[in-house]
Each structure stands twice: as structure tokens, then as C-alpha cells.
Amino acid sequence: MKRKILTVLGSVFIVFVCVIAGAFIGMSVGGNIRPEIEFNGAYGYEAGGQIGELIGLAIGLYFGYKNIMAVFRDKGSQEKV
């Protein structure tokens, strides 16, 4: 039970880190490489940050889901001693 709780908390942390990293990478790209982008009424680094957050959220949710499913599907592989 403790392993499952830690896995869920770890997956939430993975999502949080991916969103933050995506925001910083998006702001860097939007401010330095593509300052002409527009998204959701924002331009430049603000738009890049929003796009990066969405991409980071998608990546974080994917890896968090894979992490949780790897633990919760592990029931049948336990050996009986």
C-alpha cells in the first residue's frame, strides 16, 4: 500500500516538473528563437511559455500514467513462497 501511495505522489511530482520545465523551455524558445508566435492572446515568450506548459503537461501525464500503471498492474507477477 505504501508503495502505491509513493508511486502516485511521485507521478504527481513528475507532472509538476514537466510543466515547469516546459514553461521555461517554451519561454526561452518564444523569447529568443520565435518571438513572433501568438497563442491565446499572448505574444513571444508569454505564448511560448503557455505552449510549453501544455506540451509539458501532456508529457508529464503520459509518463505519470505509465508509472502508475506499472505498479498497479504488478499484482499478478508476485511469486508465492
Model confidence over 66-81: pLDDT tens digits?
Answer: 988 888 876 655 555 4
Give residues with Cβ within 8 angstroms of 39, minimum separation 6: 47, 48, 50, 51
pLDDT for res 74: 63
Cα–Cα distance measured from residue 23 to residue 72, given in angstroms and rounded to the nearest whole number: 30
What's the structural domain count of the chain? 1
| Crossing angle of helices 45-72 and 2-28, rounded to 10° | 160
In a domain, 22, yes or no: yes
For residue range 24-72, list pLDDT tens digits in order: 999 999 989 988 999 989 899 899 999 999 999 999 999 999 988 888 8
In a domain, 80, yes or no: no
In a domain, 49, yes or no: yes
In a domain, 79, yes or no: no
In a domain, 7, yes or no: yes
* Residue range of the domain that includes 50: 2-73
Q: List phi, psi (to 5°) of 68.
A: -65, -45
Question: DSSP characters for 4-25?
Answer: HHHHHHHHHHHHHHHHHHHHHH
In a domain, 6, yes or no: yes
In a domain, 81, yes or no: no
In a domain, 78, yes or no: no
